[in-house]
Amino acid sequence: MAEMSRRLPALAGLAVVAGIGAGRAGHRAFTRLVRRDVQALRARAAPGRAGVVTEEMLADLPELVRRYLRYTGVVGKPFPATIRLRQTGTMRLGRGQRWVPLDAEEHYSVSPPGFVWAGTARLGPVAVVRARDMYAEGHGRMLVKVASPWPVVDARSAQTDQAAMMRYLSEMIWFPAAFLASNVFFEAVDDSSALVTLTDHGRTATATMFFDTQGRLTDFVAQRYRTADGGDPETWSTPVTGYGEFEGLRLPTRGRAIWKLPSGDLKYIDVTITDLRYHTAPAPEGVAR
């Protein structure tokens, strides 16, 4: 017993070192995984649509959608091919859980629709959650690791596909020229909202976008799957709480995500965009931007 008592501190120290080593190895492996996913996203991306957005391209849209796109300032701007943004904010894993700081980076392609999001939640200097969400070739996948190199969530299902597609549709607000693509359709509901439908890989995702009198987007509401293992979709809302300017456009820069559940609203993330960059097709020879 005495011998064991003497060995416990050493064993504990070895366990800590092993845990730190495993954590670092897991961090490196996760970073490599995300890098590969982003490279694949970019490799699949088609060059951006040539030219710039014109007023004529808005002609067939409902008036409130035209007002929204004019408000963003997208007329006269080029079409992005790929997009990269960075976020900071807070998140929680469920009702009653504490809010923790979050930093994330996300990459998108417009054609075909796709994204890779990688986020890290921390308690002080310690990364307690690392997550990668993605949508590619009609399929979604959510991978979550909690303070270990081993995944605790690795979701792939028809529900995950729908949830990821809906997320992509909701985040097109950061590259609004994509709303002019042939796979997007709008239908006015009233003077402050419109249905938007995205078609990709034989599936559709439809949501309601809400606008104020200036043309600013105020909310995006949809039926979205909350879990990957069946059940019915839940009402999902992403209200915009702040605006700013990136790439010469007036865009949402802060927002939340909320599940509207029978038991009450579940707010689970609040983020601010800190950086947003477009990669566009080269301008035709002799045309300046």
pLDDT-flagged residues of the chain (< 70):
1-26, 147-153, 281-289
Predicted TM-score of the model (pTM) = 0.87
Tell me what pLDDT residue 123 has: 81
Tell me what pLDDT residue 30 has: 87
Residue 94 lies in a domain: yes
CATH code of the domain in which 235 resides: 2.50.20.10
Tell me what pLDDT residue 152 has: 65
Tell me what pLDDT residue 153 has: 67
Residue 149 lies in a domain: yes
What are the tens digits of pLDDT across the range 207-220? 999 999 999 999 99
Tell me what pLDDT residue 5 has: 31
Tell me what pLDDT residue 219 has: 98
Residue 262 lies in a domain: yes
Number of domains in the chain: 1
Tell me what pLDDT residue 128 has: 77
Question: Which domain covers residue 238, as residue numbers?
Answer: 13-280
Residue 166 lies in a domain: yes
SS3 track for the chain = CHHHHHHHHHHHHHHHHHHHHHHHHHHHHHHHHHHHHHHHHHHHCCCCCCCECCHHHHCCCCHHHHHHHHHHCCCCCECEEEEEEEEEEEECCCCCCCCEEEEEEEEEECCCCEEEEEEEEEECCEEEEEEEEEEECCEEEEEEEECCCCEEEEECCHHHHHHHHHHHHHHHHHCHHHHHCCCEEEEEEECCEEEEEEEECCEEEEEEEEECCCCCEEEEEEEECCCCCCCCCEEEECCEEEEEEECCEEEEEEEEEEEEECCEEEEEEEEEEEEEEEEECCCCCCCCC
Residue 8 lies in a domain: no
